[in-house]
């Protein structure tokens, strides 16, 4: 664990209180649908969307419906009810689903994970890079100490595991980037996870995209949805970093400022 990860503090109570804006962000998503329809359209490859802690596929329905109906992807939820952490059988079920989607469509799949779901996505990509096209995380605290979030106690209660417990059989070092193109979407006003722990190191196939969002609304925030669609639309094997030029600079701050 790095010194930075050790010193990160959870978001303030003020930011935690502001998580209520997730409701308004959903309204903004509905209002922005005509504009979001202008986002790039991809090649229809399979996409697996993984929900956050104690959330279910219902929480990602808006994003999945948009990617299916507006962008033509073959999108699947994780099909395991509520996400209570790595309980018995969860890891194997996710591995089986990745294999099923990849085999059914005869193509690599993209993994999109919100919060804890993003941690799963990264680890699955490390275990199965031959089946994964790219990884996109939304507010996922992979680079910080587990206690740099306001949800670590909930995780321990829900999963029955220690928040800092690492299973070496599930992808290894959490902070290490997967060997596939990886995008980390984060917000400095995240009220659940310290934003510094949700950023990816910039590299040849890694990047971070900043938006101004709550944590609980990130999965349907218009800026996040557009960024996800933009990243998914890239041709396989031709990944390039997100382009913030022009009008996008107004919606997407420089993450390294």
Residue 197 pLDDT level (bands cut at 50, 70, 90): very high
Average pLDDT in the 73-98 region?
Answer: 96
Q: How confident is the model at residue 81 (pLDDT cuts 50, 70, 90)?
A: very high
Tens digit of each residue's pLDDT (9 = 90 or more) over 166-188: 777 788 889 999 999 999 999 99
Q: Is residue 42 part of a domain?
A: yes
Q: In whole angstroms, what is the distance from residue 39 CA to residue 66 CA?
A: 11
pLDDT digits (tens, 9 = 90+) for 131-168: 999 999 999 999 988 899 999 999 899 988 887 777 77
For 30-67, how does the pLDDT look when each residue is reduced to its tens digit (9 = 90+)? 999 999 999 999 999 999 999 999 999 999 999 999 99
Could you tell me the residue range of the domain that residue 198 belongs to? 3-251
The count of domains in the chain is: 1
Q: Is residue 214 part of a domain?
A: yes
Overall average pLDDT of the 91-117 stretch: 98
Domain membership of residue 167 (yes or no) is yes
Q: Are 67 and 73 in contact (CB under 8 A)?
A: yes
Question: If you count them, how many residues does the chain have?
Answer: 257
User: 222 and 145 in contact (C-beta within 8 Å)?
Assistant: no
In the structure encoding, which two tokens stand for residue 248, read together? 């996008």
CATH classification of the domain holding 204: 3.40.50.1820
In a domain, residue 90? The reply is yes
Between the alpha carbon of residue 167 and those of residues 55, 87, 161, 226, the distances in Å are 22, 12, 11, 33
**Is the pLDDT at 4 greater than 70, yes or no?**
no
Q: Is 81 exposed, middle or buried, given 0-12, 13-18 or 19+ CB atoms closer than 10 A?
A: exposed
User: pLDDT value at position 161?
Assistant: 86
pTM here is 0.95
Q: Quick check: is 257 in a domain?
A: no
On whether residue 210 sits in a domain, the answer given is yes
- pLDDT-derived band at 6 (thresholds 50, 70, 90) equals low
CB atoms within 10 A of CB 232: 25
241, part of any domain: yes
Tokens (6 digits) for 151: 């949800």
CA distance 130 to 127: 9
């Amino acid at each position: 664990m790095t010194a930075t990860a050790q010193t990160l503090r959870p978001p303030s109570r003020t930011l935690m209180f502001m998580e209520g804006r997730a409701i308004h962000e959903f309204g903004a998503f509905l209002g922005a649908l005509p504009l979001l329809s202008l986002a790039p359209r991809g090649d229809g490859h399979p996409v697996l969307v993984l929900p956050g802690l104690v959330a279910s596929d219902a929480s990602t329905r808006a994003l999945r419906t948009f990617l299916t109906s507006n962008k033509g992807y073959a999108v699947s939820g994780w099909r395991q009810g509520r996400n209570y952490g790595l309980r018995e059988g969860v890891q194997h079920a996710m591995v089986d689903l990745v294999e099923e989607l990849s085999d059914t469509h005869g193509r690599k799949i993209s993994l999109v994970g919100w919060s804890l779901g993003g941690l799963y996505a990264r680890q699955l990509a490390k275990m199965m890079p031959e089946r994964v096209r790219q990884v996109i995380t939304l507010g996922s605290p992979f680079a910080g100490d587990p206690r740099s979030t306001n949800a670590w106690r909930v995780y321990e209660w829900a999963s029955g595991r220690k928040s800092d417990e690492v299973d070496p059989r599930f992808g290894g070092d959490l902070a290490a980037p997967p060997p596939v193109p990886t995008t980390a979407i984060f917000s400095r006003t995240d009220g659940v996870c310290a934003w510094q722990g949700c950023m990816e190191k910039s590299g040849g196939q890694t990047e971070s995209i900043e938006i101004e969002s709550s944590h609980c609304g990130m999965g349907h925030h218009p800026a996040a949805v557009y960024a996800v669609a933009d990243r998914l639309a890239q041709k396989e094997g031709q990944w390039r970093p997100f382009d913030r030029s022009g009008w996008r600079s107004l919606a997407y701050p420089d993450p390294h400022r």
